[in-house]
Structure 1
Amino acid sequence: MNRDDEVFGQALDLTGAEREAYLEKIGQEDPALRARVEALLKAYDSADDFMDASPVERPPLAPEEKLGDRIGHYTLIRKLGEGGCGVVYLAEQSEPVRRAVALKVIKLGMDTVEVIARFEAERQALAMMDHPDIARVFDAGATATGRPFFVMEFVDGVPITRFCDQQALPMAQRLELFARVCVALQHAHQKGIIHRDIKPSNILVSLVDGVPTPKVIDFGIAKATQGRLTEQTLLTCLNQLIGTPAYMSPEQAEARELDIDTRSDVYSLGVLLYELLTGRPPYDPRTLQQAGIDEIRRIIREIDPPRPSAAVSTLTAADRTTVAAARKAVPTRLTSVLAGDLDWIVMRCLEKQRDRRYGTASELAEDVRRHLRNEPVVARPPSWVYKTQRFVARNQLACGSAVAVLLAIIIGAIAATTQAIRATRAERVAVTERDAAETARAAEAVAREDAQRRQEQAEDLLTFMIGDFRAGLEQLGRLDLLDAVGSRAMDYFSELPARDLSDTALTRQTAALTQIGEVRMDQANYDAALTSFQAAFDRASTLSTRYPDNGDMLFERAQAEFWIGFVHRRRGGFAAEREWMTRYRDSAVALAALEPESLRSQHELVYGHHNLAVLDFDRGDYGAALQGFEAEHQQIVAMLRDHPEDLQLQRGHVDVLSWLGQIAEREGDFGEAERFFTEMGTLLERLMEVSGHPRWKLRHAQGLAFLGDLQARRNELSAARATNQQARSEFGELVEQDPANQLWQVSALSLELQDAGVALTERQFAEAEQMVSRCLPQLEALVAAEPTSRKFGYHLAAAARLDATLKLLHHQDPEAARAAIQWAQSLLAPLATGEVERIERYVLHEYAVTELFVADLARNEMDASAHRAQIQRVIDRLSPLLSTTHDWRLLVPAAMAHQALGQTDQAAIMQQRLTDIGYRRAFPFSSFDPQ
């Protein structure tokens, strides 16, 4: 009897649901066989003598659950899916809590002894585990018809492979996510549970607080390694495969129950990793689907799949492009990315002999993380060549710096040797014949060319290190590793006067010096940054003088002019900032005249005008600033229509929205300000999805900080707290990536101070004090490291003033409060000097409220004359700006000062302006409140 006859005979003895269940089982093993048997059954049923047979009466099956039915405390909402024996519904739990859950119940007609035992096994398996990445069990019971069910955590996610492709996760993030799955399976293994059906659809991933989070589900065919999950061991029927063929281990395919242990799951994890890396499993699922059980077993047991790198190398160009795009990789480099560690890790999981695989899922996770840390993995032989490669990969900067230093030494030695040769040969010229002199000059020229070639090699290496390396390290948030290279390069460049250098050397060194300066700016090392940018400007100016009609030379000079102006901005040198930003704008105009159609010149022209609009904003000329920013906004939007993927344009779009929001806030239009900040946040969220670059997270966190401050001014304190907390979390992640980045540190600390101010407003003294106490020593260290930074000094002064407030209101200690406020005064004094129109509004605000605090102390000490004189100084300082301003930073302290002097009419004017702009809270604990 052949296989068709055997299956047909078995099916003929069954009817109804039993026949359908049997055919479904056959179809899972061999779809073509099922189709042939169904055709035979249809022909048999239509035969003339079919009605001669007595029909077999079977009791009616209980009706299947319908949507809207209740099972216990749960109402069925919709069907999520079904497996071999269970149906899963989305259900709503009504008591004791209301929540969405996943409810799994045995399928109608499948409640055989074996299936019930397997179902009960899954219920017990899940109940034994407690891990955040494994779906939890909440409840269990039986339906009204007696079918078992259990209720588990509803996971609103998608299969891990689909999630990674939809989110275009790069290789590193895929590996981190995979490692989490391994750790979750390790937990199950420690509880004595083997999953036995690890595949993408059983690992769902969703975003939790913006972080990809996996959940392992469906332990329906799990096997216990310690004790029995059911009263009797569950044995499979003859020739029945338990699991999904494309993901099962050789021993599982052989149905050798005694041979299946945790290493079977390790094999399945290897298949999953293979698919995450290459976009397809090691064995073609269609081939397995068309094969019979014996052929499936032979393939899994005997045929070795290709290595992942070999698999992607055989893809068509279109498929390789698709796979690479989903992993943010370069198609031509996809094979090299997988070759080596990842090939070794995957193929160790897929070993046919289980004792050659990783012993546990945690060992696999740790090896994956070794690869991510550029450490040697245990999956490959640890040859000395391989170890050396990994050491260099982990220490690229140190190794590169050592090479650069060595080359610099070689260059110096060559130069010294060349000079000695010149002197010796000069003497020979005087005493030897002309031929000898000509020979000497020829040798000198060779030596000179050789020295120049070595100089170019050294400069190429430096440019590569601070160029390409910077891009990689910036992605990781580790720019501090470039400090040593930058210092060595500056020492080397300082010995080479610009006028004596060739065009090639000038071009190469200009780019390198600009890169060094940018790294130092990111670290808030302003003096060193200015030195770098000035040296870059000297070289770029020499080039642009030699070639006045060359756009590249003009562009490089413009970059140096911008950065020099920006350094002066950070240091508070306003006159120098305007001078250099005007130079930059003029260079941008000249570049646009040279190449009017180029995108580069359009960019430079936009930013040339942008910077002058910023200067107008700084001096309080908001009308001029608004005009400049609106023109910039229109030009950027027009350019984005032609170049929608241009990241530089998108960054400019984010930036101009930030400035427009700040102007609206300064002019008292809080609603318009919120609109701009919200639009900015939406753009940044999209950019963060497209690119994992820290700059987008930084700008997103800054936008949240603006929005949180705005909400606090409108007395929306709960919303402000939530917004601030999200911003603090994002800044915290940035600081964790690069602990040496002082700008990120001060931004995170300023947000904590902002939150402390909200806590003070709510009279949460203990919470506010805890935050201020954390910030003070860190801000002191930042000011000590960079004393020229106005931003650092301002935030330390604000922290000292909050500290004084707490000492007075919370601890009732006027003397301690006086010491703290005097410290704040000393910090603000250099920041608040000069023409009042040129002082930043936030500095003026901090200065004014600090002086008013001093006045309050004088009043408490019954010193009326000192109290009045102190307040009058505040009014005199602010009065030149008060006639037309709508900026709460000026109106709040002015209203407080007039109120304190009993000048109610003037205070009412300030109060009305604050009310008109939607301001709802004055300085905490003042007698003035616009409400």
Structure 2
Amino acid sequence: MNRDEDIFAEALELPATARAAYLARACAGDPVRLARLTALLGAHDAARSFLEQPVTARPPEPATEAPGTVIGPYTLRQRLGEGGCGVVWLAEQTTPLRRTVALKVIKPGMDSQRVIARFEGERQTLALLTHPDIARLYDAGTTAAGRPYFVMEYVEGIPITRFCDEHSLPMAGRLELFARVCVALQHAHQRGIIHRDLKPSNILVALRDGQPAPKLIDFGIAKATAGRLSDESLFTEMGLLVGTPAYMSPEQAELRDVDIDTRSDVYALGVLLYELLTGRPPYDPKELVRAGLLEIRRIIREVEPPRPSTVIGTLTDSDRRSVARLRGAPAPRLTADLRGDLDWIVMRCLEKDRDRRYGTAAALAEDVRRHLRQEPVEARPPSTVYRLRKFTARHRLACASAALVTVSLIGGIVASTQQARRARAAEQVAAAERDLARAAQQAETLARTDAQRRQAQAEDLLTFMLGDFRTELQKSGRLEPLAAVGDKALAYFTALDPRDLSDAALTRQAKALTQLGEVRLEQGDFPAAGQAFTAAFDRAAALAVRHPANGDMLFERGQAEFWLGLAARRRGDRDSQREWLLRYRDTARALGAAEGPTARAQLEAVYAHHNLAVLDTDTGNLAAARVGFLAEQALLEPLLAAQPGDGELRYSLADVASWLGSVAERDGRFADAAGHYTAMAARYAALARDEPTVVRWRQEEIHAVTFRARVLAVQGHRAEAAQLFAEASTRQRALVAEDRSNRTRLSALVSLNLHQIALLLDAGSTTEASLLLAEAQAAATPLATAEPASLNFARLLAAAHRQSARLDFAAGRFPSARASLEAAREILERLLQDNRADPWVRHEAALVAILAGRVARATGQDDAAQALWRDAYARIIPFTPGSHDWRLLEPAAVSARLAGLAAAARPPADLLKTFGYHSVDPLNRADLAEAESSATSNPSQPP
């Protein structure tokens, strides 16, 4: 038995503890073979452990906080924002003293041991900091649900860069303010605390006694450099960039937590000073985001930014004047002001070699103040010796060769014979080392090949389960069997570093992660979907960087960008949606340039066109949206004519019909909208006939029928609309019965119930309306709780509360009506404050205020009623100029009419009449008729 395969097989049969001794005997006298087989056994054991960890049971959903929630002596008033693991609330403390505070509580579902450890670290970090320019910690504790929270000083200020620009702070003022920030940070450093995420939004400035005063906030990812902050270990997951890329030091980009010290914060201060002086950071944040993780790290670690004076010199004349104006300096003098001391100070902070940066934040502050006092600064350009040393490090081989030649010449003159003998000896040693290295490399190659083969087998299995197997499950509408494998696969994939993967592995994983993201998106699990799509993008982007002219690589990157944009749209994040879809459009163009007018490139161009039209729809540019969708339809029809059986093309045309209907409805062209929705329903019905096991087509057809019924209702065809709603509701209940955990189906049923309730109330059928309302509320509440990021789920719950109030108002149950309206108002106010409002949210919020005014007037509170109606009008009217959207025009006209603003009520009411609009609420319908017929009104009388 002397072959490697035989020894390897025999060793596998032995217990792990006996293998080393066996290999030593079998490979006696052959250390190269011993090294090779030891490596192979190690790779085998590592590959065998893939995906063997048991799936952890998901804990029950924790309770969430809302405005009005009481935590100890604190009452939550308004959500201010959130970080990686904590949500920050504006709260009111009532005892032992009354004051406004900021309360941070761990996010629901994030109370794992690791996150709690990090949260506890943040809490104890703040307790160590007592500087007046650092937000103070007041209190700490746990909620009734057992989640930690802490209470800190509420800081009323704006980011330092914005403050300086809004107050046109001159250079001297900016530098004084910056030096003060450095001193505050030095206080934290002296207590062993590194901020690690310094950026303008974490340094808030406000005027105190007429003078700018900074406050450092959010030490949420701070690191203790001296001892432990708590009994739990604080750590950073491998491969996670902690911090904000544009302000991140090179050592943070290295992803080695042990290398982070106070000089990382000095680097971030340098970035901040750069931005205060020039109006922009050294590296464009948008470009960094587009670059992907690998390129971000390379830029931060290797690319030298230009000096501040150089940046000013490259600006356009208008930009230079703008920057100079905000700094109170003449534009021609700005470059000269920066050249010299300030250039040197900034560039010393931004040194890639941290040993060349300022040792402390206090040293940086002092150098800034030396400049202000017209004294020599410590910062200086790199010396000739330093530059020579860096050159030698960059060109080590060439310099070493030159040095070797020089030494050899001198040595040849002094002792040529001795050197020749040494050279021969060295050559013999080198030859032996090369042989050993070659053998070790062969062993490593074998081990790596074996590990990659096993990894590929496992990933191929996952790809099948998430692809072909998922397709079969999707036809029946039941995706639960993939939940466990999906969680496990996502944890496995996200733990890998794309840099360490081959092209084949990156391609497999990008596809599998995209499929996993699609599954999560269909289930309404937006955070998990976003995580999967982000991981897919990282891999696809790495491939595109390696092969920039390869169409397949560009295509995969585009898919990931599209899905990230779609996920952002589903959760109501418009800014992120625009960013990713614009990137997708650019990738589609690059694909067309790379491979010409192929079918794939044409389709990607079509989809990119579609996405831009969707963006135009979202922003209210309906004329451009209509042109875009019609152009897309014109591109799709010949493609489908050439491939009539292509299901994806058939779906795309059905989807275009849906969007054209939505645009027409918002534009007041109700007949056109009904026609488009009819075409949409017909296309999905045809797909459902050809593929009867695909649940998706049945769901989309129900949506189309619902949309058409809605348009018929606002045209006044209420009997026909009621019949269509009833048919759609029956079919939707059947879909829900097939999978009661599917949130998309449940939300569709809630929406149908609410439409039917409005028509039933108009017809006086309150009993049937009450039954439908109870069903809608029972479904809407858990939907909104389970997915708080969903705009649609939250709006549906608010609409259910309003319809409940409408029923109580009709029955004279005014206290119950007020309670329901207040619950609806709290939900809608949160959506409005989060800048997530679309026309449906604004429509709903205005109707809630209008109904609240009716309740107030019915109970003799005329002043309160007038205030509610005027507030509703003031909130909705800014969005009506140029709009034909009935969702905005109806509440604008009704609230103006009730508030006694007859002249303001007339234009939107007349416009609605021109469109042929009829409100489904008889109270609003009467107010619209009054607004159309009279320029005066008497709001003190019932409508």
Match of 1:770 in 2: 771
Distance (Å, rounded) in 1 between the aligned partners of 2:652 and 2:784: 30
TM superposition shift of 1:435: 8.0
Match of 2:904 in 1: 906
Q: Secondary structure at the match of 2:788?
A: coil
Match of 1:173 in 2: none
Match of 1:928 in 2: 927
TM superposition shift of 1:906: 3.2
Distance (Å, rounded) in 2 between the aligned partners of 1:548 and 1:599: 20
**Stretches of structure 1 lacking an aligned partner (at least 5 in a row):** 1-403, 412-428
Match of 2:752 in 1: 751
Over residues 255-291 of structure 1, what are the superposed CA-to-partner deviations in whole Å (9 max), with x where a residue is unaligned? xxxxxxxxxxxxxxxxxxxxxxxxxxxxxxxxxxxxx
Over residues 345-396 of structure 1, what are the superposed CA-to-partner deviations in whole Å (9 max), with x where a residue is unaligned? xxxxxxxxxxxxxxxxxxxxxxxxxxxxxxxxxxxxxxxxxxxxxxxxxxxx
Match of 2:838 in 1: 840
* 1:477–1:737 Cα contact (<8 Å) kept: yes
TM superposition shift of 1:691: 1.3
* 1:752–1:775 Cα contact (<8 Å) kept: yes
Which amino acid is the alignment partner of residue 726 of structure 2? Answer: Q
Distance (Å, rounded) in 2 between the aligned partners of 1:690 and 1:894: 46
Which amino acid is the alignment partner of residue 408 of structure 1? Answer: L
Over residues 659-716 of structure 1, what are the superposed CA-to-partner deviations in whole Å (9 max), with x where a residue is unaligned? 1111111111111111111122222222211112222111111101101111111222
TM superposition shift of 1:442: 4.2
* 2:713–2:920 Cα contact (<8 Å) kept: no
Match of 2:858 in 1: 860
Identity %: 40
* 1:619–1:839 Cα contact (<8 Å) kept: no
Match of 1:800 in 2: 801
Over residues 785-839 of structure 1, what are the superposed CA-to-partner deviations in whole Å (9 max), with x where a residue is unaligned? 11100000000000010011112212x211111111100001111222367xx73
TM superposition shift of 1:737: 2.8
TM superposition shift of 1:929: 4.5
Which amino acid is the alignment partner of residue 817 of structure 1? Answer: A
Distance (Å, rounded) in 1 between the aligned partners of 2:667 and 2:433: 85
1:930–1:888 Cα change, 3 Å: farther
Match of 2:704 in 1: 703
* 2:578–2:615 Cα contact (<8 Å) kept: yes
Which amino acid is the alignment partner of residue 756 of structure 1? Answer: I
Task: Give yes or no for the alignment of 1:729 onto 2:730.
Answer: yes
Which amino acid is the alignment partner of residue 832 of structure 2? Answer: A
Spell out the pairing of 1:214-233 with structure 2 (5 A cutoff): none
Match of 2:523 in 1: 523
Spell out the pairing of 1:637-786 with structure 2 (5 A cutoff): 637-692=637-692, 693-786=694-787
Spell out the pairing of 1:162-181 with structure 2 (5 A cutoff): none
Which amino acid is the alignment partner of residue 446 of structure 1? Answer: L
Task: Give yes or no for the alignment of 1:820 onto 2:463.
Answer: no
Over residues 697-749 of structure 1, what are the superposed CA-to-partner deviations in whole Å (9 max), with x where a residue is unaligned? 11111101101111111222221121112222232232233322211211121
TM superposition shift of 1:865: 2.4
Spell out the pairing of 1:499-578 with structure 2 (5 A cutoff): 499-578=499-578
1:553–1:437 Cα change, 3 Å: closer
Distance (Å, rounded) in 2 between the aligned partners of 1:410 and 1:771: 45
TM superposition shift of 1:563: 0.9
Higher relative contact order (CA 8 A, sep 6+): 2
Distance (Å, rounded) in 1 between the aligned partners of 2:858 and 2:754: 26
Q: Secondary structure at the match of 1:755?
A: helix
Which amino acid is the alignment partner of residue 495 of structure 1? Answer: A
Distance (Å, rounded) in 2 between the aligned partners of 1:869 and 1:803: 23
1:585–1:433 Cα change, 3 Å: closer
1:407–1:775 Cα change, 3 Å: same
Over residues 545-599 of structure 1, what are the superposed CA-to-partner deviations in whole Å (9 max), with x where a residue is unaligned? 1011111110110011011111111122111111111001111111122223211
* 1:536–1:560 Cα contact (<8 Å) kept: yes
Match of 2:633 in 1: 633
1:728–1:520 Cα change, 3 Å: same
Distance (Å, rounded) in 2 between the aligned partners of 1:710 and 1:888: 11
Distance (Å, rounded) in 1 between the aligned partners of 2:434 and 2:590: 53
Distance (Å, rounded) in 1 between the aligned partners of 2:896 and 2:662: 27
Over residues 622-659 of structure 1, what are the superposed CA-to-partner deviations in whole Å (9 max), with x where a residue is unaligned? 11111111111111123222222221111111111111
Distance (Å, rounded) in 2 between the aligned partners of 1:821 and 1:781: 19
1:900–1:527 Cα change, 3 Å: same
Spell out the pairing of 1:370-389 with structure 2 (5 A cutoff): none
**Stretches of structure 2 lacking an aligned partner (at least 5 in a row):** 1-46, 55-428, 931-943
Over residues 877-919 of structure 1, what are the superposed CA-to-partner deviations in whole Å (9 max), with x where a residue is unaligned? 1222323322211121112112212333433332222221111
* TM-score normalised over the length of structure 1: 0.52
Distance (Å, rounded) in 2 between the aligned partners of 1:659 and 1:711: 17
Distance (Å, rounded) in 2 between the aligned partners of 1:745 and 1:566: 20
Distance (Å, rounded) in 1 between the aligned partners of 2:675 and 2:857: 42
Count of paired positions: 507
* 1:842–1:889 Cα contact (<8 Å) kept: yes
Q: Secondary structure at the match of 2:481?
A: helix
Spell out the pairing of 1:34-113 with structure 2 (5 A cutoff): none
Distance (Å, rounded) in 2 between the aligned partners of 1:479 and 1:652: 24
1:713–1:697 Cα change, 3 Å: same
* 2:517–2:528 Cα contact (<8 Å) kept: yes
Match of 1:313 in 2: none
Over residues 32-76 of structure 1, what are the superposed CA-to-partner deviations in whole Å (9 max), with x where a residue is unaligned? xxxxxxxxxxxxxxxxxxxxxxxxxxxxxxxxxxxxxxxxxxxxx
Q: Secondary structure at the match of 2:913?
A: helix
Match of 1:872 in 2: 870
1:767–1:443 Cα change, 3 Å: same
Task: Look at both structures and tell me which one has the larger radius of gyration over its CA atoms.
Answer: 1
* TM-score normalised over the length of structure 2: 0.52
Match of 2:51 in 1: 408
Match of 1:896 in 2: 894
* 1:761–1:925 Cα contact (<8 Å) kept: no
TM superposition shift of 1:474: 0.4
TM superposition shift of 1:406: 6.7
* 1:914–1:930 Cα contact (<8 Å) kept: no
* 2:725–2:756 Cα contact (<8 Å) kept: yes
1:436–1:884 Cα change, 3 Å: closer
TM superposition shift of 1:491: 1.5
1:641–1:862 Cα change, 3 Å: same
* 1:405–1:488 Cα contact (<8 Å) kept: no
1:821–1:562 Cα change, 3 Å: same
TM superposition shift of 1:439: 5.9
Distance (Å, rounded) in 1 between the aligned partners of 2:684 and 2:566: 24
Distance (Å, rounded) in 2 between the aligned partners of 1:433 and 1:621: 71
Which amino acid is the alignment partner of residue 795 of structure 1? Answer: L
* 2:850–2:872 Cα contact (<8 Å) kept: yes
Task: Give yes or no for the alignment of 1:790 onto 2:791.
Answer: yes
Over residues 432-482 of structure 1, what are the superposed CA-to-partner deviations in whole Å (9 max), with x where a residue is unaligned? 999888766544443332222111111111111111101100011111221
Which amino acid is the alignment partner of residue 714 of structure 1? Answer: Q
Match of 1:612 in 2: 612
Distance (Å, rounded) in 1 between the aligned partners of 2:48 and 2:920: 58
1:845–1:922 Cα change, 3 Å: same
Which amino acid is the alignment partner of residue 713 of structure 2? Answer: A
Which amino acid is the alignment partner of residue 867 of structure 1? Answer: A
